[in-house]
């Protein structure tokens, strides 16, 4: 065909295309005018018109690359190279693709990086490569992915690296940047890796977010240390750096050349300071979510690296500490001489910054700047790792976009437990309770919000103090102190420290809280005049200590606690309890000018979820309170008005291991503080020593010491273990299914199975029948707590008690005929018993009783008189005569009756609680049978159990227990 | 691997007849190819197709940095680099045996290509032959294919290089593809 003929064909072809499809054949015939060859030519082109549309639409390079990709990936997976079985493709980068593989010799998983460029065959190159590899593989650090091996087989050269499961940092940085605290934590870990590597003379040369893994545990691991250099030895005659791989987002080209140092771009020799530059670029991106150096093309990025200073981070993100801005800028200086000179300096500087942040210094600085700082945390992994800083935009009705956002920052993050925050009137300081650096004493501390360093310790007394309440004039802090069993003192101490003054003595009440009358003349406390009465609210004069009863609860309630005065000084909010566990509601009561009673208290919550710790908003229009699910806010109803629906606050929510409680709201400054629990309890096991022998001490350095070990444990709370009488199984409570249920496991702690499925109701206190066939427990499935029984083989549980009062803490008589329990059905907590075959319960104790347990001979019953009582009593079943058995029990929960005596954790040093004691029936003597080096950190749900053969003691303890205070800014 | 400016220098040198520059260029293009291939593999693994266009543009940009080339040289430069790409890619495909007849329809292709008549990826070796045949009767169409398919240029850029209108580029592009598709599928009945 000649070009001329082709030109005619082309002209005709385009004309034909303009015709309707139906007309085309006719048109072609006419146009070709008998030239059949031309006719065929045009027809055949027309036939390909449609299929050619999609043909060659991808550029040639892409087509070829795809073919290669398919070829390579298909061929590698399933192959065995040397002793590595290739399992799957993990990723592909500039230097080669990385596969997950199994080292069949060692049976471990590895990451196998296949090098694109084979190792040079000439001995000199090969030697250099191996030397370099040796140096890199010697680098062993928790934040460095270790190079295990280099190898060559079947013409494939590869690196064998530690296999890490996680996500690369580039995938974890949100567009708005990481939360600052997280960014700092990561950068400290990254810097730490570099300190080690640089000390070993290894320079990374290719640090970028996708060379940084964040493991599933939230730790950082830097990938490819020294690999750039390693592969460089492979490039024939080249000494230049790798232009890192590109990634694309939304069609935009983003060169990862962004992290190269200027000296790398210029092809100069690089040293550790080049890594510092790249580190700065990564830190910049972590903080801002944006690349430090951007451009439409590689060239413009490289130009930017050489020429431009990135926008200061403070211009991209609100509330970045100036110090951080300076650190980043100092890493990103063009001239290596002007940067930080060592990674160790970088690390220390950032660590200091973070410490300041953790201790709250920065929060105040940022607060003064009036800017927004904390942003929502986007990934679960980060959340788990962080657990401390979350920012939430809390939009309630009437909040306009221009109002400053609600932010949540840690207020105190000291070791141990910090709780019960109380603001100074100006909102700039907070008094709180902390069990101290050594966690040995509960004291009142004061902290100036926004300062670092340790808080001011106000009380310095072996009995410490709790429940601080700052006076309205700011001069004093009122607080409570345990002085003897069940007795507390109400004291005042100057807010700047000084001599204490006792106002009066009072009963210790569960969930203690004080509140000042706004005129500063009196305090409201919860107290009772005698142990027989219910807890009620009393107004106590600061001057005289005179008291006046304000409320008069009556059964079925067990008391009024947790008072909070409204800012108007005429209304009191408080919690009226149905029991001392989870149940109760919030009430308000108005007073006359002289604080005289006007009407009965009015209930404002109705779900019986234990609403407690009310805190009035500064304008008196709302009340924040806590329940077992978290923090809530309810509009304060006018007294005649209808109660509003509570709204859950977007912080302090109940989670797997965190619940917000103890809210306090500042009178000025729009601040709210609350306690954030970090708790996880497990069941531990310890071998009992021979009773006749001396107590053994559990010491880490003593190989003969009593060994205490995690026994039943999950990521959630496990507690209340009980051995079956046949010694074969253990029942326990656990919320590992998401709800608190009874579980069973073997005597060795293995094979846990869920026994109950109430799925929402609380199911606690499992107790075995003497024949090990049934388990009694209590549950609030029907609204109030009742006693239930279930077969140890499962099935439907049977409800044993139905009274609307709470019945709980069941236990069996030794003959299996009765189930003892405690009940408030008469208005007082008493021990009752019900036939194991059901029937009408009968009352056992007359002078109060709680948590009964029968003696081994079945002739008497052990119990305490109240949930908080520390005396153990025994009542004869025959004649109903009670006798005190022992004093100084830490809690009825930490008590187990064995065949020969009673095991208990004493209340002495209850905060340390480091012994288990044994009261021998035969001799009535008490001795310590186990003392632990570490203090027992007994869990709230608790539970002490002894195996039937007496060899093992199980106890429940908080493994990871603590509580921190959180500060909410711009709370309105 | 050298930084992009070096690639540009090499391309220019090659365009000026310094054949030794090709020696140095070939591994660079190969590297880019492998790099792209790696991305495709990663895409296959995670199940989402990468942004092909941006990715490929990136590769081309990396190889051919037009901003380094003075304006009067641009047309020449693009033409040269597209030719070069054609040569290197075809050689590469030939050496590896990729895309022999039928190979392009393997399901490994990210785009759907189930029907042989609907094949979207050409056999590079056959394509090279067909392009030579096309150049004999219509050199401009051959250039359009070279610039767009091998050189990675847009229609507008192609128009600029060839000093014709973008519409003409598109018309040429379409017909050239039809023509090539027909040429490359002539023997299909026998293969199938």
Q: Where are the domains of chain B?
A: 4-187
Residues A295, A705: Cα–Cα separation, whole Å: 65
Region label for A80, one of left (φ > 0), alpha (ψ between -120 and 50) or beta (otherwise) = beta
Interface list for A 249-268 with B (CB within 8 A): 249-253, 255, 265, 267
Q: Helical H runs in B73-113?
A: 74-96
Question: In chain A, where does the domain assigned CATH 1.10.510.10 lie?
Answer: 82-355
Contact state of A90 with B45 under an 8 Å Cβ cutoff = yes
Query: A646: burial class by Cβ within 10 Å (0-12, 13-18, 19+)?
Result: buried
| Beta strands A926-932 and A696-698, pairing class | parallel
Provide CB contacts within 8 A for A747, sequence distance 6+. Answer: A723, A727, A728, A729, A730, A947
Q: What is the reported pLDDT for A563?
A: 95
Mean pLDDT, range A118-126, rounded to an integer:
59
Q: How confident is the model at residue A714 (pLDDT cuts 50, 70, 90)?
A: confident
Could you confirm whether domain A681-962 is CATH 3.90.79.10?
no
Mean pLDDT, range A905-916, rounded to an integer:
64
What is the 3-state secondary structure of A345-383? HHHHHHHHHHHHHHCCHHHHHHHHHCCCCCCCCCCHHHH
Interface list for A 623-662 with B (CB within 8 A): none
Mean pLDDT, range A309-329, rounded to an integer:
88
Residues A665, A674: Cα–Cα separation, whole Å: 9
Tell me the Cα Rg of chain A. Answer: 36
* Helical axes B166-184 vs B155-162, angle rounded to 10°: 100
Tens of pLDDT, residues B102-140: 333 322 222 222 233 334 567 777 888 899 999 999 999
CA triple A405-A407-A409, angle to 5 deg: 165
Count CB neighbours of B103 within 10 A: 18
The residue in chain B having the minimum alpha-carbon distance to the alpha carbon of residue A253 is B54
Residues A443, A464: Cα–Cα separation, whole Å: 5
Per-residue pLDDT for A910 more than 60?
no
* Helical axes A3-18 vs B166-184, angle rounded to 10°: 100
Contact state of B137 with A302 under an 8 Å Cβ cutoff = no
Contact state of A65 with B37 under an 8 Å Cβ cutoff = yes
Q: How confident is the model at residue B65 (pLDDT cuts 50, 70, 90)?
A: low
Kind plus residue range of the DSSP H or E element containing A80: strand A80-81
Q: What is the reported pLDDT for A515?
A: 95
Contact state of A55 with B32 under an 8 Å Cβ cutoff = no
Interface list for A 267-296 with B (CB within 8 A): 267
Residues A409, A651: Cα–Cα separation, whole Å: 11
Q: What is the reported pLDDT for B17?
A: 67
- Please choose, from the candidates A467, A546, A461, the residue with its C-alpha nearest in 3D space to the C-alpha of residue A512: A467
In contact, A244 and A94? CB cutoff 8 Å: yes
Contact state of A63 with B55 under an 8 Å Cβ cutoff = no
More confident residue, A90 or A692: A90
Q: Is A86 helix (H, G, I), strand (E, B) or coil?
A: strand
Positive or negative: CA dihedral B18, B23, B24, B28: positive
Per-residue pLDDT for A925 more than 80?
yes
Q: What is the reported pLDDT for A642?
A: 61
Question: What is each CA distance from A733 to A713, A744, A782, in whole angstroms?
Answer: 11, 9, 19
The residue in chain A having the minimum alpha-carbon distance to the alpha carbon of residue B182 is A48
What is the 3-state secondary structure of A767-800? EECCCCCEEEEEEEEECEEEEEEEECCCCCCEEC
CA triple A244-A231-B47, angle to 5 deg: 50
Contact state of A243 with B111 under an 8 Å Cβ cutoff = no
pTM assigned to the model? 0.41
ipTM for the predicted complex: 0.76
Q: For residue B103, list chain A residues with Cβ-Cβ distance below 8 A.
A: 67
Of A1, A49, A58, which has the smallest distance from its Cβ to B178's Cβ?
A49
Interface list for A 89-128 with B (CB within 8 A): 89-94, 96-97, 116
Tell me if chain B has a CB within 8 Å of the CB of A237.
no
In contact, A900 and A922? CB cutoff 8 Å: yes
Residues B70, B55: Cα–Cα separation, whole Å: 25
Tens of pLDDT, residues A793-831: 988 999 999 988 889 999 999 999 999 999 988 878 899
Q: Is A339 helix (H, G, I), strand (E, B) or coil?
A: coil
CB pairs under 8 A between A and B: 217
Q: How far apart are the first and last CA of chain B?
A: 43
Question: In chain A, where does the domain assigned CATH 2.120.10.30 lie?
Answer: 411-677, 681-962
Beta-bridged to residue A153, according to DSSP, are A156
Q: How confident is the model at residue A615 (pLDDT cuts 50, 70, 90)?
A: very high
* Helical axes A60-76 vs B52-63, angle rounded to 10°: 110
Q: For residue B95, list chain A residues with Cβ-Cβ distance below 8 A.
A: none
Positive or negative: CA dihedral A700, A703, A706, A712: positive
Mean pLDDT, range A239-258, rounded to an integer:
38
Tell me if chain B has a CB within 8 Å of the CB of A71.
yes
Kind plus residue range of the DSSP H or E element containing A835: strand A830-835
Tell me if chain B has a CB within 8 Å of the CB of A44.
yes
Minimal CA separation from A328 to chain B, in Å: 26
Q: What is the reported pLDDT for A931?
A: 75
Which residues in A163-215 belong to E strands, given as ranges?
166-168, 212-215
Q: What is the reported pLDDT for A83?
A: 87
The residue in chain B having the minimum alpha-carbon distance to the alpha carbon of residue A6 is B137
- HSE on the CB side for A957, CA within 13 Å? 21
Contact state of A49 with B41 under an 8 Å Cβ cutoff = no
Tens of pLDDT, residues A150-194: 887 766 778 888 888 888 898 888 888 888 888 999 999 999 999
Region label for A950, one of left (φ > 0), alpha (ψ between -120 and 50) or beta (otherwise) = left
Q: What six digits make up the tokens of A912?
A: 């340390």
Q: Which of A282-296, A656-670, A718-732 has the lowest mean pLDDT?
A: A656-670
Contact state of B179 with A96 under an 8 Å Cβ cutoff = no
Kind plus residue range of the DSSP H or E element containing A710: strand A708-712
Write phi, then psi, for A192 (nearest 5 degrees). Answer: -60, -40
- HSE on the CB side for A706, CA within 13 Å? 25
Q: How confident is the model at residue A579 (pLDDT cuts 50, 70, 90)?
A: confident
The residue in chain A having the minimum alpha-carbon distance to the alpha carbon of residue B116 is A51
Tens of pLDDT, residues B147-176: 888 887 888 888 988 889 999 999 999 999
Kind plus residue range of the DSSP H or E element containing A954: strand A952-969
Q: What is the reported pLDDT for A251?
A: 25
| Whole-number average pLDDT of chain A | 81
Beta-bridged to residue A938, according to DSSP, are A957
CA triple A504-A509-A511, angle to 5 deg: 125
Residues A214, A171: Cα–Cα separation, whole Å: 10
Contact state of A61 with B32 under an 8 Å Cβ cutoff = yes
Contact state of A59 with B152 under an 8 Å Cβ cutoff = yes
In contact, A932 and A388? CB cutoff 8 Å: no
Provide CB contacts within 8 A for A821, sequence distance 6+. Answer: A778, A787, A801, A807, A808, A809, A810, A811, A831, A832, A833, A834, A841, A852
Q: Helical H runs in A456-609?
A: none
Per-residue pLDDT for A877 more than 50?
yes
Q: Helical H runs in A374-450?
A: 380-386
Q: Indicate which of A11, A12, A17, A59 best probes the interface with B, i.e. most B CBs within 10 Å of its own CB.
A: A59
More confident residue, A769 or A218: A769
Of A61, A73, A116, which has the smallest distance from its Cβ to B59's Cβ?
A61
Q: What is the reported pLDDT for A607?
A: 82
Residues A729, B15: Cα–Cα separation, whole Å: 84
Question: What topology does CATH give the domain A82-355?
Answer: Transferase(Phosphotransferase); domain 1 (1.10.510)
- What one-character DSSP code corresponds to residue A695? P
Residues A20, A700: Cα–Cα separation, whole Å: 92
The distance from CA A369 to its chain's CA centroid, rounded to whole angstroms, is 29
Question: Which residue is it, tokens 């009767």?
Answer: B137
Mean pLDDT, range A208-218, rounded to an integer:
86
Tell me if chain B has a CB within 8 Å of the CB of A2.
yes
The residue in chain A having the minimum alpha-carbon distance to the alpha carbon of residue B104 is A67
Residues A27, A840: Cα–Cα separation, whole Å: 104
CATH architecture classification, A411-677: 6 Propeller (2.120)
Q: What is the reported pLDDT for A376?
A: 30
Q: For residue B152, list chain A residues with Cβ-Cβ distance below 8 A.
A: 59-61
């Amino acid at each position: 065909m000649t070009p001329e003929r082709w030109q005619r064909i082309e002209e005709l072809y385009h004309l034909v295309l303009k015709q309707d499809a139906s007309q085309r054949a006719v048109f072609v015939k006419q146009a070709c005018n008998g030239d059949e060859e031309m006719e065929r030519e045009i027809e055949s082109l027309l036939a390909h018109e449609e299929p050619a549309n999609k043909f060659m639409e991808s550029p040639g390079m892409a087509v070829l690359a795809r073919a290669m990709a398919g070829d390579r990936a298909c061929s590698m997976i399933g192959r065995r190279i040397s002793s590595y079985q290739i399992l799957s493709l993990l990723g592909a980068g500039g230097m080669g693709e990385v596969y997950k593989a199994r080292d069949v010799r060692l049976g471990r998983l590895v990451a196998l990086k296949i090098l694109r460029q084979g190792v040079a065959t000439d001995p000199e190159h090969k030697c250099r490569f191996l030397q370099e590899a040796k140096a890199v593989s010697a680098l062993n650090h928790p934040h460095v992915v270790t190079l295990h091996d280099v190898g060559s087989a079947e013409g494939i050269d590869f690196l064998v690296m530690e296999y890490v499961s996680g996500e690369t940092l580039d995938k974890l940085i949100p567009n708005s940047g990481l939360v600052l605290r997280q960014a700092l934590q990561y950068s400290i870990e990254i810097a730490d890796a570099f300190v080690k590597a640089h000390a070993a003379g290894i320079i990374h040369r290719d640090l970028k977010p996708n060379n940084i893994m964040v493991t599933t545990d939230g730790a950082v691991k830097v990938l490819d240390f020294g690999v750039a250099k390693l592969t460089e030895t492979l490039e024939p005659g080249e000494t230049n750096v790798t232009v890192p791989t590109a990634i694309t987002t939304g069609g935009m080209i983003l060169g990862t050349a962004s992290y190269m140092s200027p000296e790398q771009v210029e092809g100069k020799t690089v040293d550790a300071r080049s890594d510092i530059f790249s580190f700065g670029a990564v830190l910049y991106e972590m903080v801002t979510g944006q690349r430090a150096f951007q451009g439409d093309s590689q060239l413009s990025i490289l130009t930017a690296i050489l020429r431009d200073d990135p926008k200061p981070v403070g211009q991209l993100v609100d509330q970045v500490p100036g110090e951080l801005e300076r650190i980043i800028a100092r890493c990103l200086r063009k001239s290596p001489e002007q940067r930080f000179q060592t990674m160790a300096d970088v690390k220390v500087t950032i660590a200091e910054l973070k410490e300041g942040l953790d201790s709250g210094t920065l929060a105040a600085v940022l607060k003064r700047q009036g800017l927004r700082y904390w942003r929502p945390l986007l990934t679960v992994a980060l959340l788990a790792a962080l657990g401390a800083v979350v920012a939430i935009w809390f939009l309630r009705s009437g909040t306009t976009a221009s109002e400053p956002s609600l932010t949540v920052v840690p207020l105190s993050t000291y070791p141990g437990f910090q709780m019960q925050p109380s603001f100074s009137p100006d909102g700039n300081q907070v008094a709180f309770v902390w069990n101290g650096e050594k966690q040995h004493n509960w004291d009142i501390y004061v902290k100036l919000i926004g300062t670092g360093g340790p808080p001011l310790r106000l009380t310095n007394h072996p009995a410490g103090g709790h429940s601080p309440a700052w006076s309205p004039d700011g001069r004093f802090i009122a607080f409570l102190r345990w002085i003897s069993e069940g007795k507390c003192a109400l004291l005042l101490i100057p807010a700047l420290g000084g001599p204490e003054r006792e106002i009066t003595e009072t009963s210790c009440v569960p969930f203690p809280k004080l509140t000042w009358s706004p005129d500063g003349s009196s305090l409201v406390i919860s107290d009772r005049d005698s142990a027989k009465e219910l807890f009620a609210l009393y107004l106590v004069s600061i001057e005289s200590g005179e008291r006046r009863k304000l409320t008069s609860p009556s059964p079925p309630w067990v008391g009024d606690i947790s008072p909070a005065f409204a800012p108007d000084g005429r209304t009191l909010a408080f919690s009226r309890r149905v029991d001392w566990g989870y149940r109760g509601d919030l009430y308000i009561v108005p007073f006359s000018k002289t604080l005289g009673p006007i009407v009965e208290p009015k209930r404002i919550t109705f779900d019986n979820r234990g609403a407690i710790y009310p805190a009035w908003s500064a304008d008196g229009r709302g009340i924040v309170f806590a329940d077992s699910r978290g923090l809530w806010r309810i509009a304060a109803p006018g007294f005649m008005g209808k109660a509003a629906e509570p709204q859950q606050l977007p912080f302090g929510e109940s989670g797997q291991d965190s619940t917000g409680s103890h809210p306090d709201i500042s009178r000025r400054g729009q601040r709210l503080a609350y306690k954030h629990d970090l708790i996880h309890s497990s069941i531990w096991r310890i071998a009992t020593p021979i009773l006749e022998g001396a107590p053994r001490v559990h010491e880490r350095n003593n190989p003969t010491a009593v060994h205490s070990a995690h026994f039943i444990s999950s990521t959630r709370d496990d507690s209340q273990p009980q051995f079956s009488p046949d010694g074969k199984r253990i029942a326990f409570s656990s919320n590992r299914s998401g709800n608190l249920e009874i579980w069973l496991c073997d005597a060795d702690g293995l094979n846990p199975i869920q026994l109950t499925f109430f799925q929402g109701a609380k199911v606690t206190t499992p107790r075995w029948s003497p024949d090990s066939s049934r388990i009694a427990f209590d549950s609030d499935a029907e609204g109030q707590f009742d006693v239930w029984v279930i077969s140890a083989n499962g099935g439907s549980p049977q409800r044993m008690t139905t009274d609307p009062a709470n019945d709980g803490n069941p236990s069996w008589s030794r003959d299996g005929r009765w189930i003892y329990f405690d009940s408030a059905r008469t208005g007082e907590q008493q021990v009752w018993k019900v036939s194991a075959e059901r029937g009408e319960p009968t009352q056992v104790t007359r002078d109060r009783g709680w948590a009964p347990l029968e003696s081994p001979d079945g002739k008497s019953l052990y119990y305490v008189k109240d949930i908080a009582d520390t005396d153990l009593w025994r009542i004869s079943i025959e004649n109903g005569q009670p006798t005190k058995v022992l004093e100084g029990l830490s809690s009825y929960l930490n008590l187990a009756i064995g065949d020969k005596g009673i095991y208990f954790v004493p209340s002495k040093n209850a905060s340390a609680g480091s012994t288990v004691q044994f009261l021998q029936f035969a001799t009535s003597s008490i001795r310590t049978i186990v003392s632990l080096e570490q203090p027992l950190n007994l869990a709230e749900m608790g539970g002490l159990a002894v195996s039937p053969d007496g060899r093992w003691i199980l106890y429940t303890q908080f493994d990871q227990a603590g509580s921190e205070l959180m500060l909410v800014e711009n709370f309105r | 691997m050298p930084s992009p400016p070096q690639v540009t220098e090499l391309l220019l040198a090659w365009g000026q007849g310094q054949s030794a520059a090709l020696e140095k260029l070939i591994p660079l293009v190969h590297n880019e190819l492998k790099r792209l291939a790696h991305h495709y593999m990663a895409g296959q693994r995670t199940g989402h197709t990468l942004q092909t266009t941006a990715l490929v543009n990136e590769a081309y940009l990396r190889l051919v940095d037009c901003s380094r080339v003075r304006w009067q040289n641009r047309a020449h430069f693009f033409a040269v680099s597209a030719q070069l790409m054609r040569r290197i890619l075809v050689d590469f495909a030939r050496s590896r045996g990729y895309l022999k007849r039928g190979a392009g329809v393997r399901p490994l292709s990210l785009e759907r290509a189930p029907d042989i008549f609907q094949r979207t990826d050409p056999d590079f070796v056959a394509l090279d032959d067909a392009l030579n045949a096309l150049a004999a009767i219509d050199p401009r169409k051959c250039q359009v294919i070279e610039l767009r398919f091998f050189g990675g240029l847009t229609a507008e850029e192609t128009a600029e290089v060839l000093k014709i209108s973008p519409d003409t580029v598109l018309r040429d592009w379409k017909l050239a593809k039809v023509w090539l598709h027909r040429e490359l599928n002539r023997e299909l009945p026998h293969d199938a």
